[in-house]
């Protein structure tokens, strides 16, 4: 099944554009879990159990797992094993390197871990991105305009009258021969998001920055979705994972994810 088909199917089934970022930090999880043999895997398992019927995707930022050393690799596998087959999984590593190195990163993310999608950094150009585009069921979300303050340093610079992020988007369209490219677009700059969706009506958009990063939800929905009010993946992490630091943390995470889903669906009804 093509990535976009899988994404659309789960978004319809769960009536949800919510993606939970499993950026799990041992210092922030409930204290009672620290007595367990594998607190992070246990925390992720409980969050997934509590939310798997109300999300379209889970995203793992690989930085949070690599820093754990050899255990990190295991925890990624254990976590992915808990995620139902029909939910989209995103390996958020923002990798980029020349061909033979990029091939290795792609193999790690797509063949070893078996994520449905990866995030990749475009700065090194086509041959650094291409190894992530060889599997038509698996998607590469290219960083086009990110949600952080530093995005302005280079992404917003004007090249022949157009911002660099539009140049990147043009290339993404050229790289999309197998229909497996996606766009990472921050939600902190609504006008940018609006422009990107205008230029790219059918690609899936990964939208981080909701929650702790204070992106604007209404414009994320209005401008992030395709014409059917779908194919936007709205990712939140800390605001869901750490909604409570007590034993009820997974219930609180479910409540936070449900609130987000409902707020998103309110705007979907308004605009689509």
Is residue 79 within the footprint of a copy of itself (CB under 8 A)? no
Q: CA-CA distance, 80 to 88, in Å (whole number)?
A: 10
Contact indicator for 233, 88 with CB cutoff of 8 Å = yes
248: its two tokens = 């009820």
Is residue 1 within the footprint of a copy of itself (CB under 8 A)? no
59 is catalytic: no
Q: CA-CA distance, 113 to 30, in Å (whole number)?
A: 27
Q: CA-CA distance, 19 to 96, in Å (whole number)?
A: 23
Shortest Å, Cβ 199 to a copy of itself: 17
Is residue 69 within the footprint of a copy of itself (CB under 8 A)? yes
Between 156 and 271, whose beta carbon lies closer to a copy of itself?
A: 156
Is residue 101 within the footprint of a copy of itself (CB under 8 A)? yes
Shortest Å, Cβ 6 to a copy of itself: 25
Query: Phi and psi at residue 123, in whole multiples of 5°?
Result: -55, -35
Is residue 129 within the footprint of a copy of itself (CB under 8 A)? yes
Shortest Å, Cβ 127 to a copy of itself: 4
Place of tokens 């050393």: 69
Is residue 135 within the footprint of a copy of itself (CB under 8 A)? no
34-45 b/e (C-beta count within 10 Å ≥ 16 → b): eeeeebbbbbbb
Is residue 108 within the footprint of a copy of itself (CB under 8 A)? yes
Is residue 97 within the footprint of a copy of itself (CB under 8 A)? yes
Place of tokens 């990029």: 102
189: its two tokens = 């700059």
Q: CA-CA distance, 37 to 14, in Å (whole number)?
A: 32
One of 1, 36, 125, 247 touching a copy of itself (CB under 8 A): 125
Shortest Å, Cβ 269 to a copy of itself: 31
User: Which of these segments, 37-45, 52-60, 120-128, 214-222, binds a copy of itself (CB under 8 A)?
Assistant: 120-128
Q: CA-CA distance, 65 to 39, in Å (whole number)?
A: 13
Q: Which one, of 124, 260, 119, lies nearest residue 183 by Cα?
A: 119
Shortest Å, Cβ 129 to a copy of itself: 8
Q: Which one, of 233, 250, 244, lies nearest residue 14 by Cα?
A: 233
Is residue 173 within the footprint of a copy of itself (CB under 8 A)? no
Per annotation, catalytic residue among 52, 94, 171, 178: 94
Is residue 99 within the footprint of a copy of itself (CB under 8 A)? yes
Residues marked as catalytic? 94
Residues of the shown chain interacting with a copy of itself in the complex, contacts defined by CB under 8 A? 23, 61, 63-64, 66-67, 69-74, 94-102, 104-105, 107-108, 112, 121-129, 143, 146-155, 157-160, 164, 167-168, 171, 213
């Amino acid at each position: 099944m093509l990535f976009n088909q899988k994404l659309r199917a789960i978004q319809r089934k769960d009536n949800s554009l919510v993606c939970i970022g499993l950026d799990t930090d041992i210092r922030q999880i409930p204290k009672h879990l620290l007595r367990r043999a594998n607190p992070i895997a246990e925390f992720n398992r409980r969050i997934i159990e509590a939310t798997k019927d109300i999300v379209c995707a889970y995203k793992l930022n690989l930085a949070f797992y690599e820093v754990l050393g050899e255990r990190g690799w295991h925890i990624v596998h254990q976590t992915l094993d808990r995620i139902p087959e029909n939910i989209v999984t995103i390996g958020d590593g923002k990798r980029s390197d020349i061909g033979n190195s990029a091939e290795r990163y792609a193999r790690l993310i797509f063949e070893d871990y078996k994520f449905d999608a990866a995030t990749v950094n475009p700065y090194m150009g086509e041959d650094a991105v291409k190894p992530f585009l060889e599997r038509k069921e698996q998607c590469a979300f290219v960083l086009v305009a990110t949600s952080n303050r530093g995005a302005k340093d280079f992404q917003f610079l004007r090249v022949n009258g157009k911002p660099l992020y539009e140049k990147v988007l043009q290339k993404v369209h050229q790289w999309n021969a197998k229909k497996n490219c996606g766009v990472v677009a921050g939600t902190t700059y609504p006008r940018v998001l609006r422009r990107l969706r205008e230029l790219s009506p059918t690609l899936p958009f990964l939208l981080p920055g909701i929650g702790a990063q204070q992106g604007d939800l209404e414009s994320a929905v209005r401008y992030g979705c395709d014409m059917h009010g779908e194919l936007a993946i709205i990712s939140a992490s800390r605001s869901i994972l750490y909604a409570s630091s007590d034993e009820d943390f997974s219930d609180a995470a479910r409540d936070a994810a449900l609130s987000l889903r409902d707020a998103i669906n309110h705007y979907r009804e308004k605009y689509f």
